[in-house]
Amino acid sequence: MNEELHERIREVVASVPEGTVATYGDVAALAGATTPRLVGRVLAEDGHDLPWHRILRANGTPAPHLAREQLARLRAEGVLADGQRVDLRRFRWRPS
DNA sequence: ACTCTGACCCAGT
DNA sequence: AACTGGGCCAGAG
């Protein structure tokens, strides 16, 4: 199952700073994953220790079943959402 | 070697 | 805005 890749994915997620967000696609690209699906998968299994709430879908909305919890956590660290959607232009994390 | 099912993504109706 | 359909990858049955 490629533990190596899973590890890199967790690292990337863990490196997203408080007050910013990243998309599944971003994480996948940075970690070298072939598809964003894998990111969601990894988080679903062992994302409990990670800042999973900073990971959003490409359009800035969270995964449906998590929306409430996730938006609440983001709001708590200064990331404001307009309804379900977070303004990626403003909060998206770009590694430098 | 199938078919299903997902914290996905993109483009077209 | 709501639905497609195609592509993607890995587990489970």
Any atom of strand B under 7 A from CB of A44? yes
pLDDT in the model for residue A77:
97
Residue A78 lies in a domain: yes
Q: Is residue A96 part of a domain?
A: no
Is residue A9 pLDDT above 80, yes or no? yes
- Domain with residue A35: its CATH number is 1.10.10.10
Does nucleic acid strand B have an atom less than 7 angstroms from the CB of A51? no
Residue A49 belongs to what domain range? 3-91
A5-43 burial, b if ≥16 CB within 10 A, otherwise e? Answer: ebebbbebbeebeeebbbbbebbbebbebeebebbbebb
Q: Residue A92, CB, less than 7 Å from strand B?
A: no
Q: How do residues A43-54 score in pLDDT, each as one tens digit? A: 998 889 999 999
